[in-house]
Structures are given as C-alpha cells and as structure tokens.
C-alpha cells in the first residue's frame, strides 16, 4: 500500500463510504501469490487497517477461483457474471467502483459496475514493488519513502515475502487490464 493509495482513499472518504476489495486468487483452496501479487489478502488487510483503522471496510468480494480462464471471455462467460454479483454483494444502489487502469475501467463499465477512472498517481505500486525487490537483493533503494510508516513496518516484519519474489519470474497473464496468476489460470 503506497502513499498514492492512501491519497486516493482519503480523497474518496471525504464524500463516500469506502470499501476496499483487494483482488484475491484461490487455487485448490489456497491463495496464489506471485511477483505481481506478493502479499496475501490478510497482509494487505493488515496494512489498510494500520493506516485507516475502521474508517473503511476491507472485503474479499473480489476473489477469483481457479481455473481463472473460466472467467474468459468477459461478458460471455457465466463465471464473469458471478464475480460481478460477488463484487456487488452488500453494496447499495448508489455505489461506484474506482480504478486507475483505463482497460479495467472499460471492462467495469461493460459490467455496469459504475467505474470512475482516476488519474494515475506519479508513483505506481509496480514502481514501489520493484524498488522493494531491488532492496531485497542488496541494492540501496528508497522504497520506504513511497509507503506509509505503518505499512513499512508490516512489510519489514514480512520481509521474507519480498525476498521470496525478488528474483522470481513474473508469472502472470494480463487480460483486459487485469493480471491473473499463471498458476491456476488453466
């Protein structure tokens, strides 16, 4: 969770009830993590709670179950409509979804999920992640400058996760603005 994420959530909190739904991938009952998604749902939830306490809701509604290919093609696959219902579970009629990715925003619009496509912040999560991986490999980086102190503490407590993925190949497929782990895709 970068400072850019905090900025976005703080802006949204000014006028809206905020529910954060980190994407989760499950294969054979186990959460799949990769270089693109190194931290599991519970760890991401812990970071969000450390910064926002109970002022936001953190939900696991955005969970895909392997094989992930069954959600393709979007709009035609009945499983893609199930994920829409899953995401909407417990939401009021006057909600909107937020994304910084234009391709993902387009797909969210096709599903009627009321997307607001935000302006990407100058510092992306991918940039920070890459800096963390470089630090895990011994390079002097300044990744901590882009992350809240609460999240930095949690990441350092779980540095073994960062080291595990620092040299790992990025084993994800990108489909319409969404990344899926290759493990469990088929």
pLDDT tens track for 10-49: 988 998 889 899 999 999 999 999 999 999 999 999 999 9
pLDDT tens track for 95-144: 888 887 787 788 888 888 888 877 777 778 889 999 999 999 999 999 99
Q: Which residues pair with 174 in a beta bridge?
A: 179
What is the bridge-based pairing of β-strands 97-99 and 115-117? parallel
Please answer whether residues 26 and 66 qualify as being in contact, where contact means their C-beta atoms are separated by less than 8 angstroms: yes
- The token duo for 158 is 């779980």
DSSP 1: -
The HSE-up count of residue 48 (CA atoms within 13 Å, CB side) is 22
Measured in residues, the chain has a length of 186
Residue 100 CA to residue 145 CA, distance in Å, equals 21
Place of tokens 């294969």: 27
Residue 78 CA to residue 98 CA, distance in Å, equals 23
């Amino acid at each position: 969770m970068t400072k850019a994420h905090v900025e976005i959530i703080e802006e949204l909190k000014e006028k809206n009830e905020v529910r954060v739904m980190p994407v989760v991938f499950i294969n054979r009952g186990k959460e799949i993590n990769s270089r693109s998604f190194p931290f599991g749902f519970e760890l991401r939830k812990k970071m969000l709670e450390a910064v926002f306490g109970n002022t936001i809701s953190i939900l696991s509604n955005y969970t895909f179950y392997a094989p992930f290919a069954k959600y393709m093609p979007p709009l035609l696959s009945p499983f893609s409509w199930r994920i829409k219902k899953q995401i909407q579970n417990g939401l009021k009629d006057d909600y909107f979804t937020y994304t910084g990715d234009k391709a993902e925003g387009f797909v969210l619009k096709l599903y009627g999920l009321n997307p607001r496509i935000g302006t990407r912040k100058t510092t992306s999560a991918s940039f920070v992640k890459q800096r963390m991986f470089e630090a895990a490999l011994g390079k002097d980086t300044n990744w901590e400058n882009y992350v809240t102190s609460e999240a930095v503490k949690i990441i350092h407590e779980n540095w073994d996760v960062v080291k595990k993925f620092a040299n790992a190949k990025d084993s994800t497929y990108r489909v319409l603005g969404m990344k899926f782990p290759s493990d469990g895709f088929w």
